[in-house]
């Protein structure tokens, strides 16, 4: 099924191809792979099936941890037949787990397709278990199920759950009623987070907090004085939850490339009444460094065509950065879900020639990709080798989530990720 | 509900996908939510297949659940038939699809497609991957061999089928080549190999053979038993891994085929001579732990003891379906079989037994790495690096050569081991020296964790495993004893430390002296 719709509120009335068919994407559980590294005292317990456990194992691809900080409570037929009360069983499994892992301070019960379909109420289970094991251990729940979430939406659901646990900011004295806290939202590599913190502090924003925190005890507060800045483009639910807690969004480009990072920092400064000159002074050196580093890649990538299969929801800001800073030509930009409010500025900067598509019918999209014959195809791991076999050069999209790509110092790394497959194809004589 | 960290087997429908991906002209329409498509990457990434597995996932979403998910399934099946034009269609549901009870079999039947449609009922909350593969193969065979008449055996030459090799089976692709060569060298014709590379038309010809070779019981046993009932075709019982099993296999199939059994040839495989060569003396009595699917684990134990002179100290499997086989085999080694799919239980067993070599799956490789024990992979589940570019079967005579190389190489070599024991403080070869083939730049301390094993998909930094799992009071080492321990060659030092500490604990000693160290050495020496 294919429908055409017009995206509202963009400067150019852009046509969006909407498709319903096979979605070749990960489900939201996959977010656990990076979230459990980011929050170092958190444990993610998926309540699901053997499929969920197998997915996590396969998507992670590595088993370097004797006991990873994620696991699956595998539902069996006894749970389904009602012979065992699923809630009692869950309580038992959680007890077993917490006995083994006294280092865990934050436990997420993560819903899956089967737990959603059998309507196992994990939010109630979380509050029950929170009472039993708290306050030393915080228990939260969210859904990473494939029937509700696509890939990075799992992070959105997780952060939304964290927002509900944030304490209200203590009332500021009447004199200081303006913004009192900048909250950067979205999981970033620690190195990127540290760079952003340094720059934001140099700009003069004193109170900067990050969500998710690195540890449970570092969960920031939230209140009407909170201005939040999204670091990732897939956080619609988290944003809505923050708004409900009184926080206000700072509208900005996403911090990919020199342009995106500059705009992102400027937007933050503007919200705190800091002059653009101050920002320019702080970012002059790193931005110049990034521009110089990108130049080396531009000559190689300029004019190359690129095709995005929907995957991480990073596709639109990536296409913006790659087209404007490296001269790549996006042919089709597929995204699992188009969050127009948060991407308004991004959409306006995309070349008019690019086709936008939302949702997926993977077989039709493969047909379009073959017709378009792009120089570079960005896709998931299931499609990469088959496309390579057909002669297409591909970039795995999952790497974009696991690699630090935001900010000035990482701009050239981002370019290199896209140049490497092309270099390799040129280098190989077999 | 069972707490699961890492799993040995995927869900049953992944077994069905393995059968579909093995065959030609088969397409599987799977009623499943989005996300279940992750299964594609097992084939395209681990096995580097150049094609997606032939599966259409309906990828229904929450908003579809109130509406007509049955219609979504029918559309997907109809479209898949038009686009892929398969000769046979498998239809079924994944674990979530099973819960919404749409009856893919009935829905597909209503479409009246002009091809055979095989409905699969794979109880996801009860069964696992290998069972799913076996059941799927059996259902296909049953569907494609209707009627009661056996096709006429026109040839005078005895013929057999080779049943069981699949996509994502451990070295199955190479094993088929090796076993086919062996069978043909005995004057027996191979009628059909299935499911690997077989078309539905090939499967329909299965009856036209005198007997069946069950290459891999985990996958082929159900279908072969059916064919025995259906056509009276006998089947083999020996998995030809190792020289002894290969010889038994030859005896078995020549008897089934009614052809003369050729005399045993001493040099059919180099393993026999290599194992007798004096350089292999040091292999004698090496303590080995075998774990995997039942057929590979049992075969590994036999080869270890009878063909390499190892001492098998542990034997187990994750496949409960074959618990009886492994228990019987373990008795032959004077052992109690470990039957579990709990990875931590396997780790505990290895830690307690302290073997000198682990033969296992991808999981045991990780365990062995952490415990600093040499390891070779012998069974699925496996990693991309266990799909070598070169020809490396496990079965037959060439397979035995491969086993010798891959199991022996992780161990310390012959005289080198003795030299190291003699010159303990060797300034070049010790725990802080770099291996000679690496540049002398990095100075990783000996206590650093082993390097993270990364599939190219993901690169993550290694962090030490969380503390606090097991806390047992450790006796303290006197400075002299600690110094003496440092003289023990580094590759057995960990074991010496653990043994000494265990000895001290068992004897209620709070402090370990040089005396304790040598008392423990004497106590634990064989």
Residues 27-46 of A with CB under 8 A from B: 27-30, 33, 37
Q: Which residues of A touch B347 (CB under 8 A)?
A: 66
- Specify if A252 maps to a domain: no
Residues 110-129 of A with CB under 8 A from B: 113-114, 116-118
Q: Which residues of A touch B5 (CB under 8 A)?
A: 67-68, 71
Q: Which residues of B touch A27 (CB under 8 A)?
A: 33-36, 38
Q: Which residues of A touch B52 (CB under 8 A)?
A: 382-383, 386
- Specify if A76 maps to a domain: yes
Tokens 């595998």: give the residue. Answer: A74
> Which residues of chain B fall below pLDDT 50?
434-471
Nearest to B364 by CA among B392, B396, B331, B386: B386
Q: What is the pLDDT of residue A14?
A: 78
Q: What is the pLDDT along chain A (430 residues), one digit of tens a residue?
A: 555 544 444 445 678 999 888 999 999 999 999 999 999 999 999 999 999 999 998 876 655 566 789 999 999 988 888 777 889 999 999 999 999 899 999 999 999 999 999 999 999 999 999 999 989 999 999 999 999 999 999 999 999 999 999 999 987 655 556 799 999 999 999 999 999 999 999 999 989 999 999 999 999 999 999 999 999 999 999 999 999 999 999 999 999 999 999 999 999 999 999 999 999 999 999 999 999 999 999 999 999 999 999 999 999 999 999 999 999 999 999 999 999 999 999 999 999 999 999 999 999 999 999 999 999 999 988 899 999 999 999 998 888 888 899 999 999 999 999 999 999 999 999 8
Same domain, A298 and A420: yes
Q: Which residues of B touch A382 (CB under 8 A)?
A: 37-38, 40-41, 44, 52
- Specify if A239 maps to a domain: no
Beta A15-20 vs A2-6: how paired, if at all?
antiparallel
Q: What is the pLDDT of residue A175?
A: 53
Does A103 reach chain B within 8 Å, measured CB to CB?
yes
Sheet with B159-163, side-by-side order of all strands: B189-194, B159-163, B211-214
Q: B85: how many CB neighbours lie within 10 A of its CB? A: 10
Q: What is the pLDDT of residue B416?
A: 63
Q: Which of B4, B96, B469 sits opposite A72 (nearest CB)?
A: B4
Q: How far is CA B250 from the centre of its chain?
A: 24
CA distance B130 to chain A (A): 13
- Specify if A348 maps to a domain: yes
Distance, first Cα to last Cα, chain B: 43
Tokens 């892992």: give the residue. Answer: A101
Q: Which residues of A touch B1 (CB under 8 A)?
A: 47, 73-76, 79, 84, 86, 89-90, 92-93
Q: Do B366 and A63 touch (CB under 8 A)?
A: yes
The model's pLDDT over A308-333, given as tens digits with 9 standing for 90+, comes to 999 999 999 999 999 999 999 999 99
How is residue A267 written in tokens? 């937007």
Q: How far apart are CA B60 and CA B70, in angstroms?
A: 10
Tokens 């047909």: give the residue. Answer: A367
Question: What phi, psi does B517 have (nearest 5°)?
Answer: -60, -45
Same domain, A330 and A396: yes
Q: Which residues of B touch A86 (CB under 8 A)?
A: 1
CA distance A119 to chain B (A): 11
**Environment class of residue B353 by beta-carbon count within 10 Å: exposed (0-12), middle (13-18) or buried (19+)?**
middle
CA distance B366 to chain A (A): 7
CA distance A118 to chain B (A): 8
Q: How far apart are CA A369 and CA B441, in angstroms?
A: 46
Q: Do A75 and B1 touch (CB under 8 A)?
A: yes
Does B66 reach chain A within 8 Å, measured CB to CB?
no
The residue of A44, A70, A85, A146 whose CB has the most chain B CBs within 10 angstroms, and thus the best one to mutate to test that interface, is A146
The model's pLDDT over B334-362, given as tens digits with 9 standing for 90+, comes to 999 999 999 889 999 999 999 999 999 99
Same domain, A18 and A77: no
- Specify if A276 maps to a domain: no
Same domain, A18 and A44: no
Same domain, A132 and A20: no
Supply the range of the domain harboring residue A101: 28-149
Sheet with B117-119, side-by-side order of all strands: B55-57, B26-31, B88-93, B117-119
The residue of A147, A384, A420 whose CB has the most chain B CBs within 10 angstroms, and thus the best one to mutate to test that interface, is A147
Same domain, A6 and A51: no
Q: Do A76 and B125 touch (CB under 8 A)?
A: yes
Q: What is the pLDDT of residue A58?
A: 84
- Report the C-alpha dihedral over residues A104, A109, A110, A112, rounded to 10 degrees: 140
Q: Which residues of B touch A50 (CB under 8 A)?
A: 4, 7, 9-11, 95, 124, 128
Nearest to A309 by CA among A413, A386, A405: A386
Contact in structure between B254 and B186 (CB atoms under 8 Å): yes
- How many residues are given for chain A? 430
CATH at residue A63: 3.40.50.1980
Q: How far is CA B81 from the centre of its chain?
A: 34
Q: Residue B44 has what DSSP assignment?
A: I
Kindly give, in sequence order, each residue whose CB lies less than 8 Å from that of residue B388, ignoring residues fewer than 6 positions away.
none
Same domain, A18 and A129: no
Q: How far apart are CA B238 and CA A414, in angstroms?
A: 54
Q: How far apart are CA A76 and CA A286, in angstroms?
A: 54
- Specify if A397 maps to a domain: yes
Question: What phi, psi does A355 have (nearest 5°)?
Answer: -85, 135
Q: Which of A50, A146, A399 sits opposite B34 (nearest CB)?
A: A146
Crossing angle between the packed helical segments A315-326 and A257-271, to the nearest 10 degrees: 110
The residue of B16, B18, B47, B59 whose CB has the most chain A CBs within 10 angstroms, and thus the best one to mutate to test that interface, is B59
DSSP helix/strand/coil, B431:
coil
Contact in structure between A140 and A107 (CB atoms under 8 Å): yes
**Beta carbon pairs, A and B, within 8 Å:** 230
Q: Which of A61, A101, A384 sits opposite B466 (nearest CB)?
A: A101
| DSSP string across B209-275 | SSEEEES-HHHHHHHHHHHHHHH---B-----BSHHHHHHHHHHHHHHHT-PPPPP-TTSSHHHHHH
How is residue B57 written in tokens? 């996932």
B60, closest residue in chain A (CA to CA): A147
Residue-wise burial string across A13-32, b where 16 or more C-beta atoms lie within 10 A, e elsewhere: ebebbebbbbbbbbbbbbbb
ipTM: 0.93
Nearest to A55 by CA among A29, A20, A89: A29
Same domain, A406 and A361: yes
Q: Do A389 and B50 touch (CB under 8 A)?
A: yes
Same domain, A33 and A13: no
Does B48 reach chain A within 8 Å, measured CB to CB?
yes
Beta-bridge mates of residue B2: A74
Q: How far apart are CA B345 and CA B316, in angstroms?
A: 11
Contact in structure between B283 and B275 (CB atoms under 8 Å): yes
| DSSP string across B304-361 | HHHHS--EEEEEEES-GGGHHHHHHHHHHTT---EE---HHHHHHHHHHH--SEEEE-
| DSSP string across B166-187 | -TTSTTHHHHHHHHHHHHHHTT
pTM confidence score: 0.89
Q: Do B124 and A383 touch (CB under 8 A)?
A: no
Does B197 participate in catalysis according to the annotation?
A: no
**Integer Rg of chain B from CA:** 26
Q: How far apart are CA B192 and CA B221, in angstroms?
A: 16
Query: Of the candidates A127, A149, A171, which is a domain's last residue?
Result: A149
Does A154 reach chain B within 8 Å, measured CB to CB?
no
- Specify if A277 maps to a domain: no
Tokens 């390579």: give the residue. Answer: A388
Nearest to A166 by CA among A269, A247, A237, A91: A247
Same domain, A324 and A311: yes
Q: Which residues of A touch B2 (CB under 8 A)?
A: 73-74, 76, 93
Does A105 reach chain B within 8 Å, measured CB to CB?
no
Q: Do B5 and A101 touch (CB under 8 A)?
A: no
Q: What is the pLDDT of residue B456?
A: 34
Phi-psi region of B144 (alpha: psi -120 to 50; beta: other; left: phi over 0): alpha
Q: What is the pLDDT of residue B5?
A: 86
3-state secondary structure B3-37: EECCCCCCEHHHHHHHHHHHCCCEEEEEECECCHH
Q: A71: how many CB neighbours lie within 10 A of its CB? A: 21
DSSP helix/strand/coil, B118:
strand
Same domain, A312 and A361: yes
Q: Which residues of B touch A51 (CB under 8 A)?
A: 10-11, 13-14, 36, 94-96, 124
Q: What is the pLDDT of residue B445?
A: 40
Domain count within chain A: 2
Question: What phi, psi does B469 have (nearest 5°)?
Answer: -75, -55
3-state secondary structure chain A: CEEEEECCCCCCCCEEEEEECCCCCCEHHHHHHHHHHHCCCEEEEEEECHHHHHHHHHHHCCCCCCCCCEEEEECCHHHHHCCCCHHHHHHHHHHHHHHHCCCCCEEEEEECHHHHHCCCCHHHHHHHHHHHHCCCCEEEEEECCCCCCECCHHHHHHHHHHHHHCCECCCCCCCCCCCCEEEEECCCCHHHHHHHHHHHHHHCCCCEEEECCCCHHHCCCECCCEEEEECCCCCHHHHHHHHHCCCEECCCCCCCHHHHHHHHHHHHHHHCCCCHHHHHHHHHHHHHHHHHHHHHHHHHHCCCEEEECCCCCCHHHHHHHHHHHHCCEEEEEEECCCCHHHHHHHHHCCCCCCEEEEEECHHHHHHHHHHHCCCEEEECHHHHHHHHHCCCCEEECCHHHHCCCCCCCCHHHHHHHHHHHHHHHHHCCC
Same domain, A18 and A80: no
Contact in structure between A266 and A250 (CB atoms under 8 Å): no
Query: Of the candidates A149, A176, A204, which is a domain's last residue?
Result: A149
Q: What is the pLDDT of residue B461?
A: 33
Q: What is the pLDDT of residue B450?
A: 37
Query: Of the candidates A114, A149, A184, which is a domain's last residue?
Result: A149
CA angle B153, B88, B113 (to 5 degrees): 125
- H-type alpha helices, B440-507: 479-485, 490-506
Q: Which of A57, A90, A147 sits opposite B6 (nearest CB)?
A: A57
CA angle B219, B238, B332 (to 5 degrees): 110
Helix (H) or strand (E) segment spanning residue B294: helix B294-307
Residues 291-350 of B with CB under 8 A from A: 344, 347
Q: What is the pLDDT of residue A397?
A: 84
CA distance B7 to chain A (A): 7
Does B470 reach chain A within 8 Å, measured CB to CB?
no
Q: Which residues of B touch A146 (CB under 8 A)?
A: 33-36, 59, 96
- Specify if A257 maps to a domain: no
Contact in structure between A183 and A229 (CB atoms under 8 Å): yes
CA distance B10 to chain A (A): 6
């Amino acid at each position: 099924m294919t429908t055409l719709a017009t995206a509202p509120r963009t400067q150019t009335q852009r046509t969006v191809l909407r498709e319903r068919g096979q979605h070749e994407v990960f489900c939201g559980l996959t977010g656990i792979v990076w979230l459990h590294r980011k929050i170092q005292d958190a444990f993610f317990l998926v309540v699901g099936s053997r499929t969920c456990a197998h997915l996590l194992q396969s998507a992670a691809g590595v088993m370097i941890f004797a006991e990873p900080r994620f696991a699956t409570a595998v539902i069996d037929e006894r749970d389904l037949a009602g012979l065992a009360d699923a809630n009692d069983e869950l309580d038992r499994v959680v007890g077993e787990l917490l006995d083994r892992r006294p280092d865990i301070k934050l436990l997420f019960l993560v819903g899956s397709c089967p737990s959603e379909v059998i309507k196992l109420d994990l939010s109630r289970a979380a509050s029950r278990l929170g009472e039993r094991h708290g306050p030393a251990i915080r228990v939260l729940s969210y859904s990473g199920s494939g029937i509700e979430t696509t890939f990075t939406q799992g992070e959105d659901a997780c952060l939304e759950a964290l927002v509900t646990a944030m304490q209200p900011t203590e009332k500021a004295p009447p004199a200081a009623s303006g913004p009192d806290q900048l909250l950067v939202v979205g999981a970033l590599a620690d190195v990127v987070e540290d760079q952003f913190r340094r720059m934001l502090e140099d700009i003069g924003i004193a109170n900067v907090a990050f969500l998710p925190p690195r540890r449970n005890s570092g969960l920031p507060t939230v209140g009407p004085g909170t201005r939040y800045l999204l670091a990732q483009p897939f956080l619609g639910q988290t944003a809505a939850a923050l708004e409900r807690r009184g926080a206000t969004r700072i509208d900005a480009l996403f911090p990919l490339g020199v342009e995106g990072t500059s705009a992102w920092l400027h937007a933050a400064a503007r919200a705190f009444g800091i002059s653009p000159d101050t920002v320019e002074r702080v970012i002059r050196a790193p931005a110049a460094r990034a521009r110089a580093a990108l130049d080396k890649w531009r000559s190689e990538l300029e004019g190359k065509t690129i095709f995005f299969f929907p995957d991480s929801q990073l596709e639109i800001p990536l296409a913006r950065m790659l087209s404007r800073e490296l001269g790549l030509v996006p042919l089709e930009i597929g995204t699992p879900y188009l969050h127009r409010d948060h991407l308004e500025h991004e959409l306006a900067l995309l070349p008019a020639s690019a086709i936008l598509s939302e949702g997926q019918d993977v077989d039709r999209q493969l047909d379009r990709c073959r017709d378009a014959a792009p120089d570079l195809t960005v896709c998931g791991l299931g499609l990469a080798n088959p496309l390579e076999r057909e002669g297409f050069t591909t970039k795995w999209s999952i790497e974009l989530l696991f690699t630090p790509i935001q900010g000035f110092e990482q701009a050239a790394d981002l370019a290199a990720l896209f140049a490497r497959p092309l270099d390799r194809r040129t280098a190989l004589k077999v | 509900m069972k707490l699961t960290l890492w799993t040995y087997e995927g869900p049953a429908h992944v077994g069905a996908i393995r059968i579909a991906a093995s065959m030609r002209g088969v397409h599987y329409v799977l009623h499943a939510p989005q996300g279940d498509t992750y299964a594609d990457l097992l084939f395209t990434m681990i096995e580097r297949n150049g094609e997606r597995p032939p599966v259409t996932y309906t990828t229904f979403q929450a908003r579809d659940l109130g509406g007509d998910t049955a219609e979504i399934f029918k559309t997907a099946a109809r479209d898949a038939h038009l686009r892929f034009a398969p000769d046979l269609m498998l239809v079924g549901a994944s674990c979530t699809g099973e819960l919404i009870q749409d009856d893919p079999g009935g829905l597909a039947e209503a479409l009246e497609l002009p091809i055979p449609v095989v409905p699969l009922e794979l109880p996801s909350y009860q069964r696992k991957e290998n069972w799913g593969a076996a059941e799927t193969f059996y259902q296909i065979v049953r569907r494609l061999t209707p009627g009661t008449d056996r096709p006429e055996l026109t040839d005078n030459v005895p013929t057999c089928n080779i049943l069981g090799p699949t996509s994502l089976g451990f070295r199955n692709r190479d094993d088929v080549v090796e076993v086919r060569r062996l069978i043909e060298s005995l004057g027996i014709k191979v009628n059909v190999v299935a499911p690997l590379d077989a078309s539905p038309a090939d499967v329909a010809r299965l009856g036209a053979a005198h007997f069946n070779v069950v290459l891999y019981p985990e996958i082929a046993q159900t279908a072969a038993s059916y064919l025995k009932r259906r056509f009276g075709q006998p089947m083999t019982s020996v998995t030809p891994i190792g020289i002894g099993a290969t010889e038994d296999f030859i005896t078995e199939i020549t008897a089934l085929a009614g052809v003369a059994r050729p005399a045993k040839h001493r040099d059919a495989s180099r393993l026999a001579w290599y194992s007798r060569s004096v350089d292999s003396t040091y292999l004698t009595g090496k303590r080995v732990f075998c774990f995997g699917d039942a057929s590979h684990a049992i075969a590994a134990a036999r080869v270890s003891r009878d063909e390499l002179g190892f001492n098998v100290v542990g034997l187990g499997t994750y496949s409960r379906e074959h618990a009886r086989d492994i228990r019987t085999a373990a008795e032959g080694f004077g052992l109690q079989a470990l039957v579990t799919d709990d990875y931590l239980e396997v780790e505990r067993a290895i830690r307690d037994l302290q073997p000198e070599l682990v033969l296992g799956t991808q999981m045991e490789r990780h365990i062995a790495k952490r415990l600093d024990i040499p390891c070779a992979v012998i069974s699925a589940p496996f990693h991309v690096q266990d799909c070598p570019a070169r020809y490396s079967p496990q079965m037959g005579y060439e397979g035995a050569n491969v086993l010798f190389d891959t199991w022996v190489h992780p161990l310390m070599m012959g005289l080198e081991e003795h030299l190291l024991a003699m010159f303990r403080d060797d300034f070049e070869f010790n725990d802080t020296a770099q291996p000679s083939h690496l540049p002398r730049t990095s100075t990783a301390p000996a206590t650093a964790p082993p390097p993270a094993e990364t599939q190219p998909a993901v690169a993550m930094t290694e962090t030490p495993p969380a503390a606090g799992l097991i806390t047992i009071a450790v006796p303290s080492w006197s400075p002299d004893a600690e110094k003496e321990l440092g003289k023990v060659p580094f590759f057995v030092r960990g074991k010496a430390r653990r043994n000494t500490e265990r000895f001290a604990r068992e004897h209620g000693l709070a402090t370990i002296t040089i005396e304790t160290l040598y008392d423990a050495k004497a106590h634990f020496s064989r």
